[in-house]
Amino acid sequence: MRVARRYLISGRVQGVGFRYFAEDAARREGVCGWVRNLPDGRVEVAADGEAESIARFEQGIRRGPRGARVDAVEVFDDVPGDHGSGFSVR
């Protein structure tokens, strides 16, 4: 089953390669969407894919890359199919 989620990730998540870590995780799992830094220091992620792939992707972004510290992850349901193909860093 295809699902989509939007994530707002806070902590030490900018300046540590978090966006590229998320991009690599998404490509590994076949997840479509995007990732971007927000002006308030958080990172926003939109992800669309098979439920199991999204679950594995989410486990990765909850951990983050070496040097990151993920304090909180807000998760919102989104509309599957709205994120195109591939995964991009914005």
Catalytic residue among 12, 19, 63, 90: 19
Tell me whether residue 37 is one of the annotated catalytic residues.
yes
Q: In what order do the strands lie in the sheet with 43-50?
A: 69-77, 2-12, 43-50, 32-37, 87-89
Tell me whether residue 6 is one of the annotated catalytic residues.
no
Catalytic residue among 6, 12, 36, 37: 37
Distance CA 8, CA 82 (A): 18
Catalytic positions, written as ranges? 19, 37
